[in-house]
A = this chain, B = another copy of it.
């Protein structure tokens, strides 16, 4: 069985929203996530329901079937492996690869992504720190990955991911030098608005609570 690019994008969007909100995904949520209209969503979810990729009940939203989930995870796997390729082999920066990966993830070939995965030495995380599912759909979990906001004053974390992939945000991080793998120490937290002064390498910058909620870090236990 093979699916259209649109069907795959719907499944991927439903998967992400389902993980994020933990219950049935509404028509409007899907519409806004896919930048389309609610009426278009209704049409498409009927079709996906008929194909048994999702469960849809009128006015009650949708959720993925096992098959739908499998396909969604596979597309995400494709996307993230391509992103690794683009950054590791072609020298793209991590804030430049998403749009191209959106196209590459839909290339139809059982074998291609597996070969690419071999070629890249089976990466577990993509350039944004997101986990890469394996062929069977298992998703690696990172120990101790938390939002930067959960770090207390004096604590240190390594940037291992972001929760927001807007190009503007990624470029902001680049500017601030808060990129993947960077070590960040919390110097001060303002009670006022929970903004923070953090140190990364020689730089010291102030970041908002919002930015701190989007940055995923691995907390470093200081073994003195």
CA distance A90 to B109 in the complex (A): 13
Interface contact B107-A100, CB-CB below 8 Å? yes
Interface contact A90-B115, CB-CB below 8 Å? yes
CB neighbours (8 Å) of A90 from chain B are 112, 115-116, 118-119
Describe A's contact surface by its main secondary structure. Answer: helix
A–B Cβ pairs within 8 angstroms, 13 of them: A89-B119, A90-B112, A90-B115, A90-B118, A91-B115, A92-B115, A100-B107, A100-B109, A100-B112, A103-B108, A103-B109, A104-B104, A104-B107
CB neighbours (8 Å) of A109 from chain B are 99-100, 103
Chain A positions 112-126 with a Cβ under 8 Å from a chain B Cβ:
112, 115-116, 118-119
CA distance A131 to B43 in the complex (A): 46
How many chain A residues sit at the interface, stated as a range, is 10 to 19
Closest-by-CB residue of B relative to A108 is B103
Q: Specify how many copies of this chain sit in the oligomer.
A: 2
A interface, CB within 8 angstroms of B? 86, 89-92, 99-100, 103-104, 107-109, 112, 115-116, 118-119
CB neighbours (8 Å) of A89 from chain B are 119
CB neighbours (8 Å) of A86 from chain B are 112
